[in-house]
A and B are shown apart, each in its own frame.
Chain A
């Protein structure tokens, strides 16, 4: 009985937990509730993945309204794969949040913080699991609105302007998306994704369909921070509370990318996307520019959070390059990097959060010499950084290997060079931090610091461990990503 309702519980649990946190009104009980829910959600994700691992698809019709009339929740391997990483990040970040949040956010806002975080989690999980285009919009707004509020909780007053900036850009993105869905509804009379896909497959390409496609892709590109629509991201990451940054960096853009893949591959289909819309001609140059510019700009930042944010712009570019490669290997690379990048950025931002917890800031001059007093925190940062660079033995290597393979298959030498050169730029920006933390003297007026508490270190090292584990034992990630990519390209690319 419970097993049948798991897809619904995945979203309903955090959604119900949110008002509960608000009612509890005090920080600690709210945190306990949120943590328990996050762990339960992870357990549900694991069970769902286990159920669909062989290629089956779970359907859940809300209120027993049959699709395409009612809202249909669909768990296939792609959804289960993304659900796993999102809920895993949630389950790791929440235990970490208590100490970090109590340092960075005033006590009266704690209950609200956990409420918002659960709402955001519910929204993100819902986007992944829903099979209804309009429901996706609703959940996108739930996650976005809670994200705007979460970012505005940052200590620095510039968090408010960053949040406002993101609000404007995010709303434009969501509006574009809903316009696209509206056009599709005009055309097909349905909102169920599978139904839309079936109907447009038998349709002649009309300008309405083309316009709908354009609106949806651009709207989602805004949410996933595709260059040059990334302008909201650096500020949002830099000024949000550390926990929020870690959570968003590891999940929000990934879920938006998932939505993009969902529409491009299962709703419109690769043949339409690449053969009729030629979206690769737009995506490839922008992705390449994002990879290059994001990496180079990151190397010139003084704040570590902002540096990692620009690095994220570059990493999203890698994923888009994989999609633009129009091949099974390319899509595998994109899916792998979606998972792997969540692990590395999660680990890195949690390590930065631990630095902020003890030192009070994460600008380069503030963390000078910090490695002597915080060896475990900095060691976690170094390992996460190595993964970001793509050193073998880490997850970063696996995704880059596939990306380069995909580029070689297409004979795209400039892309190979681009990936390698930007990996070297990553060495530069990671090593600026390493040199400052390990070799520079502590600033003269800096108060003495000690190692971060265990509740911060443990989640950070769990993610660091995942970076190493999935860099060697890749059965789960590579196996799933390959299967998913093969499935999504089953229809072929040719129009």
Chain B
């Protein structure tokens, strides 16, 4: 089997093997902290190079495949690279090295315990993320989805105190209950209906769904959408704020990027590849998703507005922003699906910047509440400038990446005449401004409460990391051609150059 593999497939497999090998390496070198961190950084760097090296092939239309095993006849653990997965993998692997630099600064700066365990599970979580991104069928997606849940549990509960245990219980409870209770039957049901769980452009069920009773399609759709609890559709969003007990690098990478994005990625994947956009357009029982997404966007923002704890405010902002992706997919217009795909990347860069900034503030000043941040901008200029850029991306104004994705979602909504969606996006933009702008404003324009000499900027690795992600947020606005091309290929708006 290995002999028959072309070099693209080989590199795709390498992208899964690297983090796993990294986890072993980190564990073995756990006794020597510097060496251990070296292993993390080298692995993360190699993974980034591997994933980026796949990009030209995907743009040119290659879809490498690899079958690992077939545990149940007809149902394989298999990988296949396609544009959306490429985009997701690129975002995750781009942010891992940056996050590792940040983690080193944060974990050492706060003298956290059990750092080896932390980095090991972090690498395993990245392995699972790559697996989700490259899954060739629902079964494989489900497998890696569960590995991601389980491998992040020790990260969420890292502190090991009662708060961590309670947060971990909600985290695991909701994610496992939805995935086993709803997603698993949905996958098995799909297998029973279609005889396969393969991701097929145009939709696995495209030819089958019209013959089924609408109730069945609607119910199956419901099982999928709520089964993917990581997408945090209300009322399944409770795990996200609960998981904020984790150390900030975990919140940053996993709960702004890997875990939640694995959720919305799966949502888009199921809508585009399992049902097919055109199939769902004809199913009245699938329209509710639009309303739920709209509801989650608005309510998430309203709750965020009332949070004083910075990380909780960011968490509810994430709940709200994730539903942009779901909304984009639920509009069922090719343009808005492009917007949804782009928002996966745009929100990742913006939100990780915001989390980094929150962690920087905690490390340097030990402040966790929004109301404590008056005048902090002049003491931590790098951090708060980055925070401002991240906020702009959340609100969706130039020159930040959030603008691009919102633009496409709006364009798709207008094209199909979904005025409700347009209204929601506009209203939510105002709400986003309402809860981010005051933080930036008071950080720079208000006088500080206490002695300005007691702290300065955060440790250097942290500053480097958050500056990098803020820069990426702006760069993605300026150079969005590659992600756009990937997203276009996803919905078939542009044919691959070679194909």
Contacts and interface: CB of A to CB of B under 8 A. Distances in A.
Interface of A: 386, 389-393, 398, 401-402, 404-405, 408-409, 416, 420-421, 423-424, 427, 431, 435, 438-439, 471-474, 478, 482
A427 B176 contact: yes
Contacts of A438: 157, 160
Contacts of B172: 427, 431
A471 B185 contact: no
Given A392-B142, A435-B169, A439-B160, A420 B185 contact: yes
Contacts of B192: 405, 408-409
B285 interface: no
Given A401-B188, A424-B181, 11 more contacts: A391-B146, A393-B147, A401-B72, A404-B185, A408-B188, A424-B177, A431-B169, A471-B71, A472-B69, A473-B69, A478-B71
B159 to A, nearest CB: 10
Contact of B71 (A398, A420, A431): A398
Nearest to B184: A420
Contact of B181 (A386, A398, A404, A420): A420
Contacts of A420: 180-181, 184-185
A493 B188 CA distance: 25
Contact of A390 (B72, B77, B150, B180): B180
Contacts of B165: 435, 439
A426 B181 CA distance: 12
Nearest to A439: B165
B73 interface: yes
Contacts of B181: 420-421, 424
28 contacts: A389-B180, A391-B146, A392-B143, A392-B146, A393-B146, A401-B188, A404-B184, A404-B188, A408-B189, A416-B185, A420-B180, A420-B181, A421-B181, A424-B177, A427-B173, A427-B176, A427-B180, A438-B157, A439-B157, A439-B160, A439-B162, A472-B68, A472-B69, A472-B77, A473-B69, A474-B71, A478-B71, A478-B72
Contacts of A402: 72
Contacts of B139: 392
Nearest to B147: A393
A420 B150 CA distance: 18
A424 B77 contact: no
A172 B53 CA distance: 70
Contacts of B142: 392
Contacts of A431: 169, 172
**Most chain A beta carbons < 10 A, residue from B77, B146, B169:** B146
A282 B331 CA distance: 50
A452 B359 CA distance: 39
Contact of A386 (B73, B150, B160, B189): B150
B143 A393 contact: yes
Contacts of B72: 398, 401-402, 474, 478
Contacts of B184: 404, 420
**Most chain B beta carbons < 10 A, residue from A392, A402, A423, A438:** A392
Interface in B60-74: 68-69, 71-73
Contacts of B160: 438-439
5 closest Cβ pairs, A-B complex: A392-B143, A439-B165, A474-B71, A408-B192, A472-B69
A385 to B, nearest CB: 11
A182 to B, nearest CB: 43
A389 B179 CA distance: 12
Contacts of B77: 472
Contacts of B169: 431, 435
A158 B160 CA distance: 37
Nearest to A431: B172
A188 B69 CA distance: 49
Contacts of A478: 71-73
Interface in B139-160: 139, 142-143, 146-147, 150, 157, 160
Contacts of A405: 188, 191-192
A418 B143 CA distance: 22
Given A393-B143, A405-B188, A439-B160, A424 B71 contact: no
A290 to B, nearest CB: 20
Nearest to B117: A375
Contacts of B188: 401, 404-405, 408
Contacts of B68: 472
B143 A424 contact: no
Nearest to B75: A401
Contacts of B185: 404, 416, 420
A420 B187 CA distance: 13
A77 B347 CA distance: 56
**Most chain B beta carbons < 10 A, residue from A389, A438, A439:** A439
Interface string B117-152: 000000000000000000000010011001100100
Nearest to B173: A427
A389 B181 CA distance: 12
Contacts of B180: 389-390, 420, 423-424, 427
Contacts of B146: 391-393
Interface in B159-176: 160-162, 164-165, 169, 172-173, 176
Nearest to A375: B117
Nearest to B139: A392
Contacts of B173: 427
Nearest to B192: A408
Contacts of B73: 478, 482
A105 B330 CA distance: 65
A386 B169 CA distance: 16
Nearest to A427: B176
A394 B226 CA distance: 24
A438 B160 CA distance: 8
B407 to A, nearest CB: 38
A417 to B, nearest CB: 8
Interface string B54-88: 00000000000000110111000100000000000
Contacts of B147: 393
Contacts of B164: 439
Contacts of A416: 185
A393 B139 CA distance: 11
**Most chain B beta carbons < 10 A, residue from A402, A405, A420, A482:** A420
A424 B181 CA distance: 8
Contact of B150 (A391, A471, A472): A391
B142 to A, nearest CB: 6
Nearest to A421: B181
A389 B146 CA distance: 12
A405 B164 CA distance: 38
A427 B168 CA distance: 13
A192 B146 CA distance: 49
Contacts of A386: 150
Contacts of B176: 424, 427
Contacts of B189: 408
A401 B184 CA distance: 9
Contacts of A404: 184-185, 188
A423 B188 CA distance: 15
B316 to A, nearest CB: 26
Interface in B353-375: none
Contacts of A439: 157, 160-162, 164-165
A427 B210 CA distance: 37
Contacts of A473: 69, 71
A420 B188 CA distance: 12
A416 B139 CA distance: 18
